[in-house]
Amino acid sequence: MSNEKYKLHPVTAIINVVKALKDLLIPIVIIIVANGFNFNLDYRSETFFSEMIPLFILVIVVFGTMVSGLIKWWTFVYWYEDSELRVEYGLFVKKKRYIPFDRIQNLNYKEGIFHRLFKLVQVQVETAGSKSGKPEAELTAVTRAAADDVEIQMKKAKQKTPIESELMEVVEEEEAPSTILHKMKVPELLLLASTSSGIGVVLAGVFAVFSQFAEFIPFDAIYDEVAFLMEYSFIAAMILIALALMVAWIISVGITFLNYYNFTVSKQQNRLIITRGLIEKKRVTIPLNRVQAIKLVENPFQQMLGLASIAVESAGGGFSGEADKKIILFPLIAKKEALKPLAELFPEYDFHLSEAIQPPKKALPFFYRIDFIWLVPLIAAISYFFYPFGLLSLLLVLPILLLGRWQFKTTGYTIEGQQITIVSRMISRVTFFALKKRVQVTQGSQTYFQKRRKIGSAKIIVMSGMAGASATVRHIDQKEVEKILTWYEY
């Protein structure tokens, strides 16, 4: 294995600077807004220093960020030695990282705007110990040939036996063809944007922007216009609200389209490959033997339409920045259509839901008892300070009761051989599939009030991210909790 050292493409310096400035965007906006957009360039003015100090700080931070990005690119080198990928960078403090190829789980690829302009790719090296959401090593910008070379060197190192490694090099095997299991179409993208929480996020973002620039918005004039419209025509006001919701929907569709464009799930030997993105193209590779559990999520709108979002909990592998290692396998798919690709990917699992063991009727009050702890003081405060209209807050009791009953009807679990399936709900219905060999911890819990009713809760945890992924079946009969614990102990 050659010890020749390689450098990253010069575009890396630009990417490093842009990434750092992106992270500083919010502090920059805060400094500008806090200064009231006042930048006095007259050095003879008495207020020159007081008004320009924030700008000076901003310039120093931005300049330091640019220099740091240039230094990291200039000093970054990587090479292959002793069946390891070795990385070194730093000017005054040298940082080195040696990653044995046999510890590398997968190589993920990412193509941003600058990468696609110069036909480059970002390589993220994932190992079994990558639990913080960050890769073990990252080659920010290299050519496609250099990225392929990393994979070739990794395959050669994994194919060699201790004796063969000193005598000969293994010839690279021909790349196995991949099989496409699912590819999202444009109508599915539109449906995903319409049934997901994206519209709510957009509206929250708009309100957040308004709150930051509240002093520059003429609310009095807007209020007068709205009052005039309400007096003149209630229909006109409804049209404006509908237009606002439509704009939020269009923005949500645009964001969804950019993130999930050409979303494709394919299988190559024992690996799962997911690609997505329009402007920034991402490709993640997941070894199937690292999948710890499968999670099927249905929000109320999707449940009515027979649709679901399916994710996998992985012990290694994921898109950059996803610390919990939850990887979306199917952003939106009909539940009936999902059975075939899921069975092909995970033949050990049984995805046909049988009748679940549910909580007893005596457990029903426990599903809304906790909600009343915060709801009762809230209603009392609103009723007192906004009397008599605050008494309308008593109407919140009915939705809480209905939600608790809905959660009670949804909750349940099944055990079939080596598999446990837990169904639960906060707002969305979540079905959690896990095999016993993947479960890291199983625990039962019982509060004082549960003990009096002879009920309890059971929780399972699988390896995923820093804290693991968990599923809890709440307020079931005490005997059922013991049954789950016994199943795991056997």
Task: Summarize pLDDT for 38-57 with one digit per residue, the tens.
Answer: 555 555 666 656 666 667 77
CA 53 to CA 396: how far, in whole Å? Answer: 50
- pLDDT of amino acid 246: 80
- pLDDT of amino acid 439: 92
- Given a contact cutoff of 8 angstroms between Cβ atoms, the answer to whether 127 and 111 are in contact is no
Domain tally, the chain: 4
- pLDDT of amino acid 464: 77
- pLDDT of amino acid 395: 85
Q: Which two tokens stand for residue 310?
A: 């399916």
Shared domain check, 458 and 340: yes
Shared domain check, 151 and 44: yes
Residue 280, Cβ density class (10 Å: 0-12 exposed, 13-18 middle, ≥19 buried):
middle
Q: Is the pLDDT of residue 183 over 70?
A: yes
Q: What percent of the chain has pLDDT over 90?
A: 23
Over residues 400-452, the pLDDT tens digits come to 888 899 999 999 999 998 999 999 998 899 999 999 999 999 999 999 889 99
On whether residue 172 sits in a domain, the answer given is no
Look at 46-50, 172-176, 465-469 and tell me which has the smallest mean pLDDT.
Answer: 172-176
Shared domain check, 157 and 300: no
CA 71 to CA 474: how far, in whole Å? Answer: 53
CA 23 to CA 18: how far, in whole Å? Answer: 9
Residues 6 or more apart from 367 whose CB is under 8 A from it?
404, 405, 407, 408, 411, 474, 475
- Coil, helix or strand for 289? helix
Shared domain check, 437 and 306: yes
Shared domain check, 382 and 274: no
Shared domain check, 152 and 289: no
- pLDDT of amino acid 360: 93
Q: Is the pLDDT of residue 254 over 90?
A: no
On whether residue 180 sits in a domain, the answer given is no
Q: Is the pLDDT of residue 100 over 50?
A: yes
Shared domain check, 398 and 249: no
Strand order, beta sheet including 469-477:
439-445, 455-462, 469-477
- pLDDT of amino acid 231: 56
- Given a contact cutoff of 8 angstroms between Cβ atoms, the answer to whether 115 and 135 are in contact is no
Q: Is the pLDDT of residue 98 over 70?
A: yes
Predicted confidence band of residue 135 (pLDDT cuts 50, 70, 90): confident
Q: Which position has the higher pLDDT, 143 or 175?
A: 143
Domain of residue 368, residue span: 361-407
DSSP code at position 316: S
On whether residue 278 sits in a domain, the answer given is yes
Shared domain check, 208 and 65: no
Shared domain check, 441 and 327: yes
On whether residue 177 sits in a domain, the answer given is no
- Given a contact cutoff of 8 angstroms between Cβ atoms, the answer to whether 43 and 56 are in contact is no
On whether residue 178 sits in a domain, the answer given is no
CA 414 to CA 355: how far, in whole Å? Answer: 8
Predicted confidence band of residue 239 (pLDDT cuts 50, 70, 90): confident
Q: Is the pLDDT of residue 276 over 50?
A: yes
On whether residue 255 sits in a domain, the answer given is yes
468, 372, 349, 480: which is closest to 420 by C-alpha? 349
On whether residue 386 sits in a domain, the answer given is yes
CA 68 to CA 76: how far, in whole Å? Answer: 12
- pLDDT of amino acid 298: 92
Q: How many Cβ atoms from other residues are within 10 Å of residue 480's Cβ? A: 21
- pLDDT of amino acid 237: 64
Over residues 189-213, the pLDDT tens digits come to 888 877 766 555 555 555 555 554 4
CA 296 to CA 308: how far, in whole Å? Answer: 7
Shared domain check, 340 and 371: no
Shared domain check, 321 and 236: no
Q: What is the mean pLDDT of residues 61-74?
A: 84
On whether residue 175 sits in a domain, the answer given is no
CA 103 to CA 101: how far, in whole Å? Answer: 5
- pLDDT of amino acid 165: 40
- pLDDT of amino acid 170: 37
Q: What percent of the chain has pLDDT over 70?
A: 78
Shared domain check, 307 and 208: no
Which domain-ending residue is among 260, 287, 312?
260
